[in-house]
Structure 1
Amino acid sequence: RTKPEKDERCEICEERRRGRLTEWLKNRENTIWTDEVADVNNRLALLTLDFNLDKWLDGTMIGTIYSQSFEDWYNGKKIKKENNVEIEKDTVQLLKDFQVLDKIQPTKESIFSLLEQVIKNLDSDKKMAAGILNTFFQDVNIDEKSLYSHINNIKERIKADNLTKNNLATYLFTQNPSPARLYRIWRETEEFFELVVNEIKSNIYSYKWKRIKFSVDYNDLKSKLNSDQNIDDSPFIIKVEDLTPEDLLVFHDKNGEFYTIESLEKFKFGNKIGKEAVKEALSNGFKHLAPEDEPTKNLLKNGKNIQPSKEGIKVEEYYPFIEITKSPLSLRLIISALDSIKILELVINIYNKRFSKVIGKLPLNIRLLVSKRKFPLYVLLEAGERMLQSGEFKKPVMMNVWWNLDGMRNNEYYGFYPTKILKDDEKYTLDDLVPLSDGKTYALYPGFFDYDLLSATTDRYNISYKKQKRGGEDYSYYSARPYYFYQISQIIELWEILKNNLSSSKINYIEEILTGKLREWRNVSEANKDCVFRKFVEATLKDAFTDRWEKLRKETQDFIMNSALNGLLLDTVVLFRHIIKEKEAEENE
């Protein structure tokens, strides 16, 4: 959008900014300032959560959930009128009334046999066909007169010119994509994102972050400016003597009312830190007031001190994250980089509880991009759009189940999963759905997790993919990103093991040794390369862990070893040490 060269933003953007600012001034419990979100390392993160609902909204995944079980049908009862007397009969009795004398069982084989008779007798014996079909409907009665009407309705719903035992059984026993069901899916994902935001507020930030509001004599302030200029509704840098760091970002509303608009935990003044340090420093006044984009341009006359009113220095609370967009498909938040892992754990827990019956069918992708607080927001958002957006991340993967099957293994409605990948416009049938079982391969949608650090605006062009892995030479040698959604928990678990057993220097040692060896061997193609590298990794880990290695359980040793071999270990170190910059305790030296 074009704008006058002298203006900071165009008219429309200025109007939007003014609207956000007005709303914030009315209710400052939330924040609109990215600087207020940044952590003590001056880093923030763009967290994006995406649901892939394509195969739900077209009915494919809805059709993998049973609407009635075989036992429901077999044990069902219906009222039948005989000689003007209403009699309740079960399924077997109803079938016998229509001369179906086969042994009936609550199995797919029995059902297929019955439906073959329905299709076979649609024209030759409508009474029998209607009688058999009637047993599959609880609240609908089908007779000879209404048979064709129901058959045509079924064909229309499943979009089939011809009925087969398979597509008819699928229609009768699995859920159909009715408008009401599609709306419920839409509402479920929408409510999930609403719950995530609310839980971040109540669990992660039950103790809100603090900002400081302070007031100065407005006439005194204007009299000490170098020139008569409008300083209302603008951000400024003030420099406070002996405050570390000395630059403090503030917003001047009007009439001498100021608000700090950056996170305060990093500040120190004397023996005080955080908000107390800033409060104490402000009580001494300041002699430097500069526009945010010209921090060295002091607007105050030389040596003039601005003294905030001591009674006017007050502490406010706010939630340190910014909601960028929220819809049933996606949620984008600006969050503190250091808090990103806690928020990820929260998201995982909510997802696993709320969608426990459709894990592997309803994929959630998570994208995490970290940058310095002054990084251009539009570049951060653009980089986020480059992550996990290609069609390869919307396809199912043939894989084993990764979640606990207790409570799901024998679920009559949700415990069936597809065992093949569909072709275009194909839909699952009962033959494609089998009960969940450990060790069996299913066509699953695992969801993906990717992350990166943007140090320069050009870094966004490094985000590319090839065969569901990050493109680029460095990534192919040193990284296995992106990971499946469920592997986030493994990454967190691995980091807990590392930081609880190793010092920062030992973790750095492992990273340097493994990275160096991978770089050295990237062009080596000897047959025993993997075997030699495995021995090298084992020796490196034992050297770093020293006597702690033998104290670890065998399962933990194997987990660390496999993580070092498949790239998870290096990616974990990169995430925690270089991207979010979490500090490890040095007591493990």
Structure 2
Amino acid sequence: KKNRDEVGIKQTIFIDEIVDQYQRAALIVAKFDLDQWLNGKMLHTLFVTEARGIEKEIKTLNKIEKFKGEKEKQARKKLQDILYNYDRITADIDAILNKEENSEYVSFLYTHGRNFQKDKKNEKKKALETLIDNRCGEALGPICKYNVINAKSPTPSTILDVWQTTRNFFKTSIINDIKEKSGMIRRNRVTLACRAAVGGTFEAELIRDVQTERIEVLLTSGGSQADLIVSIDKLESIDNILKKPKEAIIRITDKSWDNPDQSELKIQANTAKPYFRYRVITASPCLFMAIVPADQAVKISQDIYKHYQEQFGKVTGRLPFSVGNIFFRRRMPMFVVLDSAKRMLNNFKRFSAYEAIRDFTVKEKTEKKGRKIRYTGCSL
């Protein structure tokens, strides 16, 4: 359940409010390779009915006219073992295809039929034989027919379920972890003594007496309020200056500021509004990107992997999943970070073709101007 105090709190859009105490941030990149699932190939690897679900099927038999009374007892006797049992499954399928006397009691488990009249038995048998022939083709082996009958079919609803499941994984489980690990920051919003003539984000200084702190100020053209954008390590100093807001001023130092008459803005009052210290770049069913504080990136990635194991452990090895972290300093141009993410995604695509599970690795790349960008990656 969400904390009521957190309802309505937005994620920040400013990198200064995301960086850690060392002025670093990290871009988390997570990707599912859904190609083989959306084309239906991997859906054939899923069992059509859970073993425990068979018991639910049997419990409904007494509600069906043809299975009331003795018929239900006979079916229960023939299907006592409800656990995954290879011998029982193969025997049941052979009974459908070969033994007319048993097909009435087992075919409903694999074809979901409810009408077991004698004139329908041959139709069911022919349908199963056609299905096996079409699916297996020339590769028909001793085990193929059992796999075909027990496998899920790639219907629009099952494909949509894959799409929605991975989307919810990113938009619910992962974002909740990011909120918890990244935490919140208070953004000071001050009321100015005059209305700003120019809107935008500008470099400035917050001054009271001998106390000075460099900030970025967000102004709205024609508005009397301004947001002070600072990193978390400056909050204590900013709070001290704003204890007496009417004695403080904002001095614009940005080179692009072209209004000398408003180079110093007086403050009348101050309020604070909380924001989450992360920013989601994209969150689709197959791709997730978010900027988080660098000191929390590895912990968040470990939680992502933990949730992947919990929710998709049964399809490990069949649902390729990759996670990577790109670490950068506050002044790093964002196009450089996103270009690194693009290269990382290309690596993920290459890794997903491998059968072995990849471990975390750390690499370092030096840009032309001496900037360094470090990234880690994990492909599962």
Q: TM class, shorter-chain normalised?
A: 0.7 to 0.9
Aligned residues of 1:240 and 1:285 also touching (Cα < 8 A) = yes
Aligned partner of 1:249 in structure 2 is 216
In the alignment, structure 1 residue 37 sits paired with structure 2 residue 28: no
- What is the distance in 1 between the residues matched to 2:246 and 2:358? 52
From 325, 342, 347, the equivalent of 1:368 is 325
Q: Deviations over 1:152-174 (max 9, x none)?
A: 24544x36368544221002233
Please list the CA deviations of residues 60-101 of structure 1 after superposition, one character each: whole Å capped at 9, or x if unmatched: 443333335799989x9789999xx9734349879xxxxxxx
**1:211 paired to 2:187:** yes
- Distance change >3 Å, CA 314–CA 147, structure 1 → 2: same
CA 314–152 in structure 1, closer or farther in 2 if over 3 Å, else same = same
Aligned to 1:438: none
* Correspondence 1:199 to 2:183: no
Show the counterpart of 1:307. Answer: 266
Bigger RCO of structures 1 and 2 (CA < 8 A, at least 6 apart): 2
Partner secondary structure for residue 144 of structure 1: helix
1:135-284 matches, cutoff 5 A: 137=110, 139-140=112-113, 141=116, 143-156=121-134, 158=135, 160=137, 164-200=141-177, 203-204=180-181, 208-218=184-194, 230-231=197-198, 233-241=199-207, 242-243=210-211, 246-253=213-220, 254-263=222-231, 265-267=232-234, 273-280=236-243, 284=247
Q: Is the 8 A contact 2:30 2:287 kept in 1?
A: yes
- Which residue identity lines up with residue 358 of structure 1 in the other structure? V
Q: Name the residue aligned to 1:382.
A: 339
Residues 327/91 of structure 1: CA separation in 2 closer, same or farther (3 Å cut):
same
CA distance in 2 between counterparts of 1:370 and 1:377 reads: 12
Equivalent pairs counted in the alignment come to 356
SS of match in other structure, 2:167: helix
Q: What TM-score do you get using the length of structure 1 for normalisation?
A: 0.50
Distance 2:76 2:162 in 1: 33
Q: Match of 1:366, as an amino acid?
A: V
Q: Check the 8 A contact 2:179/2:278 in 1, yes or no.
A: no
The question of whether the paired residues in 2 share the 8 Å contact of 1:48 and 1:330 is answered with yes
1:212 aligned counterpart, secondary structure = strand
* 8 Å contact from structure 1 (residues 235, 249) kept in 2: yes
Kindly indicate whether the alpha-carbon contact (under 8 Å) linking 1:321 and 1:335 is maintained by their aligned counterparts in 2.
yes
Contact kept in structure 2, 1:324 and 1:334, CA below 8 Å: yes
* 1:48 and 2:29 matched: yes
- Paired residues of 1:196 and 1:350 also in contact (CA < 8 A): yes
Aligned partners of 1:371 and 1:455 also within 8 Å: no
SS at match of 2:216: strand
Q: In the alignment, does 2:252 pair up with 1:289?
A: yes
Q: Which amino acid aligns with 2:48?
A: S
Residues 358 and 307 of structure 1, relative CA distance in 2, 3 Å threshold: same
Query: Where does residue 227 of structure 1 map in the other structure?
Result: none
Q: Secondary structure at the match of 2:344?
A: coil
Give 1:384 deviation, angstroms.
Answer: 0.4
Give the residue type in structure 2 aligned to 1:255.
G
Residue type of the alignment partner of 1:152: T
**Residue 214 to residue 460, structure 1, CA distance change in 2 (3 Å):** closer
Work out the CA distance in 2 between the residues paired with 1:28 and 1:175.
42
Moved more, 141-150 or 453-462: 453-462
Matched residue type, 1:87: K
**Does the CA-based 8 Å contact 1:379-1:457 persist in structure 2?**
no
Segments of structure 1 that go 5 or more residues without pairing to the other structure are: 1-26, 95-105, 222-229, 399-445, 464-469, 471-480, 486-589
After superposition, where does 1:448-459 map in structure 2 within 5 Å? 449=360, 456=367
Task: Report the 3-state secondary structure (helix = DSSP H, G, I; strand = E; otherwise coil) of the residue aligned with 2:112.
Answer: coil
Q: What displacement does 1:211 show?
A: 0.8
1:262–1:163 distance in 2 versus 1, CA, 3 Å:
same
CA shift for structure 1 position 209: 0.6
2: CA distance between counterparts of 1:72 and 1:217?
Answer: 69
Letter of the 1:55 partner, please give it: Q
- Structure with higher strand content: 2
Residues in 2 aligned to 1:287 and 1:357: alpha-carbon distance in whole angstroms:
57
CA spacing shift, 1:139–1:29, aligned 2, 3 Å: closer
CA contact (8 A) 1:37 1:262 kept: no
Alignment pair present for 1:324 and 2:292: no
1:534-573 deviation line (CA, Å, top 9, x unaligned): xxxxxxxxxxxxxxxxxxxxxxxxxxxxxxxxxxxxxxxx
**5+ unaligned residues in a row in structure 2: which ranges?**
1-7
Alignment-mate amino acid for residue 378 of structure 1 = F
Superposed CA RMSD: 4.5
Task: State the 1:343 CA deviation.
Answer: 2.2
Secondary structure of 1:306's counterpart equals strand
User: Under a length normalisation based on structure 2, what TM-score does the superposition of the two structures give?
Assistant: 0.74
Q: Distance in 1 between the 2:65 and 2:17 partners? A: 73
Matches of 2:249 and 2:192, distance apart in 1: 11
